[in-house]
Structure 1
Amino acid sequence: MGFAAIGFSSSPLRAFAISNSSREEDGQTQVAELASPCPYKWRMVIAYDGTKFKGWQYQPAPPTIQCLVENALIRITKLDRKELCLVGASRTDTGVHAWAWKAFTLQLMGFFPQIFSVHKLSPHAMREAAAYFVGKHDFSSFANASHNDGSPNPVKEIFRFDITELDAVLQLEIEGTGFLYRQVRNMVALLLQIGREALPPDIVPKIIAARDRRELAKVALSAPPHGLCLMSVNYNQEVLEPPEGFPPVSFGRSHHVSKCKLLFY
């Protein structure tokens, strides 16, 4: 299963158990109270590839998404299923995928804060900071040293740096003439610090002007690669034009090989 995104949010909630069934006594629906006085519920936003799973709903075999998530949470929290009280928003059929599936639990307070670094980000501050990247700049401060690139030109032009809110996920999309080694991951790392309000947005032009990777290292580590995706590669039309004197359409050349000697090691 591929967790493309897992987001967490919490909100005040009276401590009661949510279940797929309820019991009735004296004509009234009863809701069982939890022993633990947990004042919050946690919402998980999950993306998964359901090809090898029998849908969401819990069953130990064949495997389901709920079963897999619960087993992972049980290992982390040491709670049993009843205490965990994981409830899906609905259910998906066998083989069906989800991009933003919702699941809720009441019993993760005191566990996730020790395991995950869950921060609320400020999209407004991140957009303000991202705007400083747009334009032509020397991005030496955002490039890690690479033994394979030689001495690349550190001046790149960023056409746009968009930050879009997709439910509980922030999508950062960058378009430019090219990027230095780890430039994008380093820019995102700085924006995350700004989104957490650990740094002001106007620190971006100061670090750009420094042209020194050590200045960025003082305030932000490189972001991990797992969320990074190359969306497209575009070329200027003049680059795609054939050289002067060549026909507009080329079918290449044919080569005939009469003998071929292969070396095996």
Structure 2
Amino acid sequence: MGFAVLGFSSPPFPTGRLYSANGCSQSATNGGGAVENPIHKVKPTVAVPQYKWRLVIAYDGTHYAGWQFQLSPPTIQCLVENALIRITKLGREDLCFVGAGRTDAGVHAWGQVAHFVTPFNYDSLESIHAALNGLLPSDIRVRDISAAVPEFHARFSAKGKVYHYKIYNDTIMDPFQRHYAYHSVYKLNTAVMREAAKHCIGRHDFSAFVNVSRNDRVLDPVKTIFRFDIIEMGALLQLEVEGSGFLYRQVRNMVALLLQIGREAVPPDIVPKILATRDRKELAKFALSAPPHGLCLVAVKYNEDHLRLPSGCPPTSFGRHHTVSKCKLPFY
């Protein structure tokens, strides 16, 4: 990245320019290469260091239009970024706030990862951690905050992601699961669902399982699925999928097909046949995308080198406990 962080030297920005203490770029000459006037000398320039910080964020996506920044309707990135702007007094362009992935509207997260930069250091991260959670609504929480090495990038350093999709398989829906699990009133055959899920494991072209991309979501359709497990917890089924990366709505499309297979509407061997076509229209003949509210981004995985802490940095903040030294209310 070329940025300097705690314990490292502070080179010029990637543009090659030096930046003054107030962040404004200056030139060694006064216009087109002319020698500077000795009477009006340009102030000496200094490189502004940049410190990088990593956040792990959990959120209930029920009332939000996904992660990606937009002002209306509100998104997770917008609210976290606005809180950072208030706390750091920096502009959006200065923070360079980036998330590991774009969860869609209604999708939840337990382990979303993001990073931002500041031109100043923190002696302790507990105060900014508490301030962030104090400004954010209760359905968005920063789980921890830590210093990051210059090479770390929340999105481009990611080596894998883990998603869970929950299905409540009973005639009557548990009202406490209604925002976090899809309700299937059809009795699902988990044995054939597991058999079908095995066909997804490995390196495949998942073009047949991707919706039309939005914005810059044009990615390599070849992905590796490391595992695809189906865990039964009473009426609740938890589909756990871990892969090198995922295309737009890929997980929800895979789950939708497994639901059809679990209902025994189509056989398990339909999966490799659809994969081979590399055609989204072929999948549409059998299944539509599963609803977003059952999906949760559980974790983002990185190489250990990218997760190491810079030397001399403040300790990672996991939040602080509050204690009461003396009870002010009488016991009865």
TM-score, with length taken from structure 1: 0.50
TM-score, with length taken from structure 2: 0.40
Structure with higher Rg: it is: 1
